């Protein structure tokens, strides 16, 4: 029944997308055969009033109708242009995670169940919700901290949201498996693996203790950063379903007029923002991955404060070195070095020619150096770079795509603050300083220290590794002599599972066909 429910939810989602004109909004004149026929049918099924809307508006309406799970799905896919394409990724990036608030009584019940104490003993002046998203909503309150009364933001999980998400995730996995089965050309995009990443991301986001840990780590990392900070977390009043953190009083970075009226230096804010992002990425390998203007506030003294850490990104030392060297290589026009970095990192297969790859990179870099610096987009550069690497069989790197998406957003915010913002001039001090510390003599000493520690760990594990190798060798010898065998119970279980899957699949397909037939009949 679970599989059948997933099929039915998937059919409903497809029907909503068709009716709201999302499918019909995509260009289909160049299609041929069955795809073109399907596109024409989609245009017939679309609501008549949807034809006057743009594709982004149609998509927003459809996703709002489908609910919070699909808002999160859209926001997640916006970080994967390799899967949905750059055009659709831009549309999905505009989806706003705003929902109706739920009653304060339910929020109080969630807090008391999670923290094990009445709201009145935990907080002072606990107020009604001021903002609501698909997963949680925020209430203002006050607490006694350090002998002083301080205002806090209390984030409370939406009741029943986990069950709704888990049900919809079944449909997402079903769609991914069907895609892999019936569209072999898309298997290289690994749709099931992408869905697993979404599921893991969502599970993490629905445990507010993990978001609190991310905030706490970033708070520690940014203590000494000029002009940028992260709120503190009140761990005493934080649990799986409740997150309590510092209340931020400031002007949203999306309100340019208010920032100007308050006398803030917009050019300085643009520079501080991009340098802070690059510092977190290169120095810490841990960055806020949802830095749109609504999640950034400017305090009275000009300090930028980031909020909402549901999406964060991590990149390892190898990826940080890769990012720094390619950025610095393009700044200095050393395209050969940029090409070599790709090969050294193992991103481009070794059978390709380094010189040919450097030539392709020059085709990207030279036109950029012929433009005024303030018109050069670093985000656009990375987009072109990933397009070129596809020609050289570079495998999808999800962590780099999330980084690219975040850089697009951050750069866009900086250019909104200062239309003549020089991205390269702002980035150069941070990038060059990181290269000096990590790729120069100091970096070599650090690498030797890490290599020495790795050898010590390996030496400690040597006896256990030797024992495992001996056991594996014996098992391989036995397998070679006797062959690979299943016990009777295992073989019987596999047969039952396969038969059950086949029956449920057939029943579900007949139900889908009948529902689609009834839906179409309603239109004529």
Would you please indicate which residues are annotated as catalytic (active-site) residues?
290
Strands (E), 147-241: 148-157, 228-229
Give the H or E element holding residue 145.
strand 136-145
End-to-end CA distance of the chain: 32
* DSSP 3-state of 244: strand
Give the H or E element holding residue 142.
strand 136-145
* Under 8 Å between Cβ of 133 and 211: no
How far is Cα 323 from Cα 313, in angstroms, rounded to an integer? Answer: 14
Encoded tokens for 86 = 């750059």
Residue 250 CB contacts under 8 Å (≥ 6 apart), including other chains: 297, 298, 299, 300, 305
How far is Cα 21 from Cα 492, in angstroms, rounded to an integer? Answer: 47
Which phi and psi (to 5°) does residue 396 adopt?
Answer: -60, 130
How far is Cα 488 from Cα 500, in angstroms, rounded to an integer? Answer: 18
How far is Cα 339 from Cα 333, in angstroms, rounded to an integer? Answer: 12
Strands 296-298 and 304-306: antiparallel
How far is Cα 248 from Cα 150, in angstroms, rounded to an integer? Answer: 11
Which phi and psi (to 5°) does residue 286 adopt?
Answer: -145, 120
**Burial degree of 472 (CB within 10 A; 0-12, 13-18, 19+):** exposed
DSSP calls for 384-429: HHHHHHHHTTPPP-HHHHHHHHHHHHHHHHHHHH-TT--HHHHHHH
CB atoms within 10 A of CB 127: 13
How far is Cα 509 from Cα 61, in angstroms, rounded to an integer? Answer: 28
* DSSP 3-state of 314: strand
* Under 8 Å between Cβ of 152 and 142: yes
Strand partners, 245: 153, 233
The secondary structure of 13-32, three-state, reads HHHHHHHCCCCCCCCCCCCC
Nearest to 68 by CA among 169, 216, 183, 150: 169
* DSSP 3-state of 105: helix
How far is Cα 16 from Cα 249, in angstroms, rounded to an integer? Answer: 40
How far is Cα 437 from Cα 76, in angstroms, rounded to an integer? Answer: 34
* Under 8 Å between Cβ of 381 and 362: no
């Amino acid at each position: 029944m679970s599989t059948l429910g997933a099929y039915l939810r998937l059919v409903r989602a497809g029907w909503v997308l068709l009716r709201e004109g999302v499918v019909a909004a995509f260009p289909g004149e160049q299609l041929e055969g069955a795809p073109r026929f399907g596109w024409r049918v989609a245009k017939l099924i679309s609501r008549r009033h949807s034809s006057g809307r743009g594709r982004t508006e149609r998509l927003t309406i459809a996703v709002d109708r489908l609910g919070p799970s699909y808002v999160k799905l859209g926001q997640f896919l916006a970080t994967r242009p390799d899967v949905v394409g750059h055009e659709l990724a831009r549309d999905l990036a505009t989806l706003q995670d705003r929902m109706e608030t739920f009653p304060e009584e339910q929020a109080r019940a969630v807090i008391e169940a999670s923290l094990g104490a009445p709201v009145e003993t935990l907080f002072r002046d606990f107020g009604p919700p001021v903002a609501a998203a698909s997963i949680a909503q925020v209430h203002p309150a006050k607490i006694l901290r350090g002998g002083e009364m301080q205002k806090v933001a209390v984030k409370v999980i939406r009741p029943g949201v986990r069950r709704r998400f888990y049900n919809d995730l079944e449909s997402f996995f079903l769609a991914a498996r069907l895609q892999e089965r019936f569209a072999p050309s898309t298997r290289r995009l690994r749709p099931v693996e992408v869905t697993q990443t979404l599921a893991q991301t969502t599970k993490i986001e629905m445990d507010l203790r993990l978001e609190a840990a991310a905030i706490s780590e970033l708070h520690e990392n940014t203590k000494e950063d000029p002009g940028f900070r992260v709120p503190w977390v009140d761990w005493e009043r934080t649990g799986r379903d409740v997150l309590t953190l510092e209340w931020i009083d400031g002007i949203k970075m999306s309100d340019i007029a208010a920032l100007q009226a308050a006398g803030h230096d917009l050019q300085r804010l643009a520079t501080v923002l991009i340098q802070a992002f690059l510092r977190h990425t290169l120095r810490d390998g841990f960055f806020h991955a949802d830095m749109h203007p609504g999640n950034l506030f400017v305090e009275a003294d000009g300090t930028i404060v980031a909020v909402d850490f549901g999406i964060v990104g991590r990149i390892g030392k190898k990826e940080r070195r890769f990012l720094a060297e390619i950025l610095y290589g393009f700044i200095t026009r050393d395209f050969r070095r940029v090409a070599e970095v790709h090969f050294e990192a193992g991103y481009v297969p070794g059978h390709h020619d380094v010189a040919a790859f450097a030539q392709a990179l020059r085709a990207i870099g030279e036109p950029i150096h012929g433009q005024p610096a303030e018109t050069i987009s670093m985000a656009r550069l990375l987009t072109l770079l990933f397009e070129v690497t596809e020609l050289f069989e570079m495998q999808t790197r999800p962590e780099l795509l999330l980084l690219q998406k975040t850089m697009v957003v951050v750069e866009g915010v900086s250019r909104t603050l200062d239309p003549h913002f020089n991205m390269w001039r702002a980035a150069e001090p941070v990038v060059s300083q990181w290269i000096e510390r990590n790729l120069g003599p100091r970096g070599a000493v650090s690498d030797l220290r890490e290599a020495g520690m790795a050898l010590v760990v390996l030496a400690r594990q040597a006896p256990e590794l030797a024992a495992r190798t001996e056991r594996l060798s014996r098992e391989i010898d036995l397998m070679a002599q006797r062959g690979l065998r299943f016990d009777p119970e295992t073989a019987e279980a596999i047969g039952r599972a396969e038969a059950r899957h086949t029956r449920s699949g057939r029943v579900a397909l007949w139900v889908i066909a009948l529902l689609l037939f009834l839906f179409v009949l309603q239109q004529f």
